[in-house]
């Protein structure tokens, strides 16, 4: 063993001893498996880092390149077709095996974690929140809904719900003509209503245009004849047959709740699900507030 390797191992040993001294000075509880594994990891990293570095630095001083020269050449610099060093391969495979062990045994899924503790605290707080606002009045729901909207929805839909010049859905109106035409052409299968998925409609050309104009206009005046294909699911009034299908005339609590749970993809783009972000009371409050937004 040459002097370089001796110095490297000595330095590694010094680092490990210093680690142990610091642990004892700080009264770290080594009965905790996480602390114990951390200390072992620190010692292993110190040993491997300086041991491996010393080994390869020493090889660089003495070894010569051998093997079959590759055909590629960059500015006269060639490359030998040498096998990957065994130590690299073993380290890679060992890391994978260690990772599997650490996930299921070294730090099992049911062990304590700060993230788990945070989630439990959030859950407990949400339970108290739901109990405190079990029967809120309309004014409270609207005020709460506005707060939720400004935090969760306004970044995309804008503070006034206008969709920020087409970047997101304009909540001041139920649907634009372009959005209705997109649904007619492609159908919709994501909102989880009792009626199930809506297939692409047979209406085309002038019929599709008439339906889109009628729905986008708030279903005012006489319905076009082609709209009869929509009434079997959405109802003649467009309100969704008591929650069996989406309301196409305005926003209601069921529609908002389903969009928050499942997300939505349409002519403008995709909206992710918000089902883990809001409590039932917050969803109801948000639906209440959105119904007050006017263009």
More confident residue, 5 or 135: 135
Q: Is the separation of the CB atoms in 248 and 236 below 8 Å?
A: no
For residue 95, what are the domain limits? Answer: 3-63+85-111
- Residues 101, 204, single domain; the answer is no
- pLDDT score recorded for residue 108: 67
- Residue 201 pLDDT: 83
The pTM assigned to this predicted structure is: 0.59
User: How far is the C-alpha of 196 from the C-alpha of 243, rounded, in Å?
Assistant: 12
Is the predicted pLDDT of residue 229 greater than 80, yes or no?
Answer: yes
Q: Percentage of residues in the chain with pLDDT exceeding 70?
A: 90
34 and 152 part of one domain: no
Domain count, the chain: 2
Residue 1 has pLDDT above 60, yes or no: no
78 in a domain, yes or no?
no
Quote the pLDDT of residue 114: 80
Do 148 and 105 fall into the same domain? no
In the prediction, which pLDDT does 78 show? 80
* Residue 206: inside a domain: yes
pLDDT band at 66 (very low <50, low <70, confident <90, very high): confident
Judge contact between 295 and 172, C-beta under 8 A: yes
Q: Are 170 and 161 in contact (CB under 8 A)?
A: yes
Are 105 and 164 in the same domain? no
- Domain final position from 95, 111, 127: 111
Q: What is the average per-residue pLDDT within 194-210? A: 85
pLDDT for the residue numbered 138: 92
């Amino acid at each position: 063993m040459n002097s370089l390797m001796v110095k490297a191992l000595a330095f590694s040993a010094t680092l490990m001893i210093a680690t142990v001294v610091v642990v004892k000075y700080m009264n770290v509880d080594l009965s905790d498996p996480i602390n114990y594994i951390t200390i072992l990891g620190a010692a292993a990293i110190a040993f491997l880092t300086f041991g491996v570095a010393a080994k390869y630095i020493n090889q660089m001083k003495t070894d010569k390149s051998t093997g079959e020269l590759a055909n590629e050449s960059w500015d006269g610099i060639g490359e030998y077709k040498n096998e990957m060093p065994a130590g690299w391969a073993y380290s890679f495979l060992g890391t994978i095996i260690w990772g599997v062990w650490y996930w299921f045994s070294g730090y099992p899924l049911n062990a304590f974690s700060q993230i788990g503790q945070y989630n439990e605290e959030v859950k407990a707080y949400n339970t108290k929140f739901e109990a405190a606002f079990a029967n809120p009045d309309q004014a409270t729901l609207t005020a709460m809904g506005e707060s939720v909207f400004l935090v969760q929805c306004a970044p995309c839909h804008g503070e006034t719900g206008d969709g920020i010049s087409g970047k997101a859905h304009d909540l001041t109106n139920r649907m634009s003509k372009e959005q209705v035409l997109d649904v007619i052409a492609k159908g919709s299968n994501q909102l989880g209503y009792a009626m199930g998925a809506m297939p692409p409609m047979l209406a085309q050309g002038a019929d599709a245009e008439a339906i889109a104009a009628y729905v986008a206009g708030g279903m005012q005046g006489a319905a076009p004849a082609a709209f009869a294909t929509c009434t079997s699911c959405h109802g003649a009034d467009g309100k969704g047959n008591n929650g069996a299908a989406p309301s196409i005339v305005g926003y209601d609590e069921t529609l908002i709740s389903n969009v928050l749970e499942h997300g939505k993809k349409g002519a403008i783009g995709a909206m992710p699900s918000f089902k883990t972000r809001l409590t039932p009371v917050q969803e109801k409050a948000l639906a209440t507030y959105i119904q007050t937004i006017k263009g």
